[in-house]
Every structure is written in C-alpha cells, then in structure tokens.
Amino acid sequence: MEAIFSVENLLALITLTVMEIVLGIDNIIFISILAGKLPPAQQRPARQIGLSLALITRLLLLLSISWIASLTQPLFELGPWHVTGRSLIMLGGGLFLIYKATTEIHEKLEGAEHTERSAAVTTMQAVVFQIILLDIVFSLDSVITAVGMANELWVMMTAVIVAVGVMLFLAEGIAKFVNDHPTVKMLALSFLLLIGFSLVAEGFELHIPKGYIYFAMGFSVMVEMLNLRAAAKAKARQPVQLHQRYDTTKLSH
C-alpha cells in the first residue's frame, strides 16, 4: 500500500489531473458549440452524453496501452514522412476540426437563413456522432499524455475520472458563457481552428509545443475578458435618456 500511495504517485496524480483538465477545455468548447445547435431542452443531455463518452473512450484506451504503443510504429513511409496509426488519426481529426470550425464560423456570420437551415437538419444523433469522432482524437492525445507522465494505471485512470468529473461540473457554465457572448464564441471557434492546425502538424510529425498554443489561447482569453469588462463599465456609465413625449424635430420655429 505504501508503494501504491507513494509521494511520487500522488504528485503524478495531481499533476496529471490538472493536465487532463487543461487538455479537456478544448473538448468542452467543441461539445458546447455543437450542443448549442440543438433545442434548449436537448443541450444539457447532449453535453452530458458527450463527456460521458469521452470518459469511456479514455478509460478503454488506457486499458489497451499496448495497442496505443503500436500506433506509434511506422506503417509505411512517404519520403521523409513516417506514417503511423497515430499520425493518421491526428491528421484526420485535425482536418475534421478545421472543417467544423470553419463551417460554424460561416453559419454564424452569413445571415439568419443559413442558421435556420442548419438548425432544422441538426439532430441529437448527428451531434453525438460528431462528438464521438472528436472524442477519439482528443482522448488519444489525452491518453498519450497520461502514459508519458505516470507509470501506474490506477493513477492514470483516477486522473481521467476526476478530470472528466470537473469538466462535467464546468460544462454548463462554460456553454452558457460562450453562447451568451458572440465574440467569445468566435474566439472559441478560432481556438478550434488553432487546435485543428496543431493536430494536422502532429500528423505530419511537426511537433508544436503545447505551451505555445495554450499561452496564445490564454492571452487571447485575458484580452477578451478585459474587453468585456470595459464594455460592461462603459454600458453602466451611459447617462439616462429621458423619453420625449413629442417629436421636437417637427416643431415649427
């Protein structure tokens, strides 16, 4: 028992849990944006189903670590590019994420008729299917990070369960905040474009340190929070406008 609950394992558990929560933020954003296309009564169940599927996917991948390791073995080569199972998954997931973010931005900015048409054909099944596709990509990245940071399976599984629990707790608040602020929603979609690009780069064996990506995202969020706060203060300082009973512009001089 002392070996299992050693200081090293507990530190690994805390560190890995924090990392899993950070890596899960983009998953929450994607799920929130997709669920936002559904009727209000179906949005919360869609988020819960999406995050529950993310948990199941992560746990199943952790139980098949040997298969995860095989994904890093080259399948074939195209010039200098060593094509592996992981690179193909990252490439496909990145392209899909770029496509979804681009189409979402188009729908949000191209007029009401586009939004109404897209909402009419969106169903719970379609949203859950898209969530499953991206859960596989995000979960693979998350599990590879877990395997690299911890040696004990129970540490990895506990960290994943706690992280998804925190994500479930935060999901509704994040979704409401994103949906209530159009500029934040555009910023979130831009983040998805950035993450999609980084996944495509990973697929081509071009490693971009995640610290750079999360610094850019964090800085953008900080600037947007300052903008929202300034806008709220400006709105609060607006003088009260008294209503005119008569149109003074039409009075004769």
- What is the separation of C-alpha 135 from the centre of its chain, rounded to a whole number of angstroms? 10
Q: Residue 207: left if φ>0, alpha if ψ -120 to 50, beta else—which one?
A: beta
DSSP, residue by residue, 4-64: TT-HHHHHHHHHHHHHHHHHHHHHHHHHHHHHTTS-HHHHHHHHHHHHHHHHHHHHHHHTT
Residue 244 included in any domain: no
- What pLDDT was estimated at residue 147? 67
Query: What is the H or E stretch that residue 83 is in?
Result: strand 81-84
Determine, yes or no, domain membership for 206. yes
Q: What DSSP state is assigned to residue 241? A: P
- pLDDT of res. 120: 44
Q: Is residue 251 part of a domain?
A: no
Cα 72 to Cα 61, 65, 75, 79, 103, distances in angstroms: 14, 12, 9, 18, 31
Task: Please tell me the distance from the alpha carbon of residue 94 to that of residue 195, in angstroms, as a whole number.
Answer: 7
Cβ contacts of residue 205 below 8 Å, gap of 6+?
81, 82, 87
Rounded to whole angstroms, the Cα distance separating 54 from 58 reads 6
How many other C-beta atoms lie within 10 A of the C-beta of residue 189?
21
24/159 Cα distance (integer angstroms):
12
Residue 1 counted as domain residue: no
Q: State how many domains the chain has.
A: 1
Residue type, 237: R
Residue 239 lies in a domain: no
Give the pLDDT of the chain (253 residues) as one tens digit per residue.
555 556 777 787 788 888 777 777 777 888 888 888 788 888 888 888 888 888 888 888 878 766 766 677 788 877 777 888 878 888 888 888 888 888 888 877 775 554 444 444 567 888 888 888 877 777 777 777 676 666 677 788 888 888 888 888 888 888 888 778 888 888 888 888 888 888 888 888 888 887 788 788 888 888 988 888 888 777 766 665 555 554 545 545 5
Q: Is residue 57 part of a domain?
A: yes
Q: Decide: 203 and 91 in contact? Cβ < 8 Å.
A: yes
Distance, CA of 52 to CA of 55 (rounded, Å): 5
Q: Which two tokens stand for residue 197?
A: 């690009």
Query: Exposure pattern of 137-147 as b/e (b: 16+ CB <10 Å)?
Result: bbbbbbbbbbb
Q: CA-to-CA distance for 183 and 176, rounded, in angstroms?
A: 13
Contacts 24+ apart (CB under 8 A), 73-78: none
Domain extent for 95:
7-233
Residue 249 lies in a domain: no
pTM confidence score? 0.69
Backbone angles phi, psi at 5, to 5 degrees: -100, 45
The pLDDT, as a whole number, for residue 9 is 72
Kindly state whether residue 253 falls inside one of the protein's structural domains: no
